[in-house]
Amino acid sequence: MTTLLAVGMALVVAGCLLLGLRRLRRRLVVITVQGMSMSPSFVHGERVLIRRGDPTRLCTGEVVVLEHPDSATQGEATGAGPQPGGRNWFIKRVAAVAGEPVPASVVRLNSMPGGSIVAPGEVVVLGEHPHSEDSKQWGSVPLDLVLGAVVRKL
């Protein structure tokens, strides 16, 4: 009887672990960086682990992966690049979140009025390379375009 109970408990534990791993797989994504827009922090060919989650919890300074804000005219991605599913993802650093002032570099190049504040449900992102495509061209980006935040390099 005890052996049967031990086998039953082992099956229950294994089932719980398997269910937990499936949930974890839905929350984690691996992206290969393409291009140099986040150089030197992330370079072409590096793989990064992304954690999907609530984009309203993003903080300034975090690195995120997001879809191009105008997917109809998207062109070549200079970030994470085309991935399975045919989407182009960009990797950028969060420069400001809702309620924070829009950085001066974005205001200057995007003809946003000085003293602008990031609207609720939006984020401002910047690449590290001086010629990266980011909020300087796009303006603020809706949070529903954010796939997730970078956890670490692989």
Q: Decide if 140 is catalytic.
A: no
Q: Give the DSSP per-residue string, 79-117.
A: SSEE-TTS-EEEEEEEEEETTSBPPHHHHHHHTPPTT-B
* DSSP code of residue 118: P
Is residue 92 flagged as an active site residue?
Answer: yes
Query: Catalytic: which of 71, 92, 111, 132?
Result: 92
Single out the catalytic residue among 37, 132, 135, 140: 37
Distances from the Cα of 106 to the Cαs of 21, 62, 111, 117, 133, in angstroms? 41, 18, 8, 12, 11
Which residues are tagged catalytic?
A: 37, 92
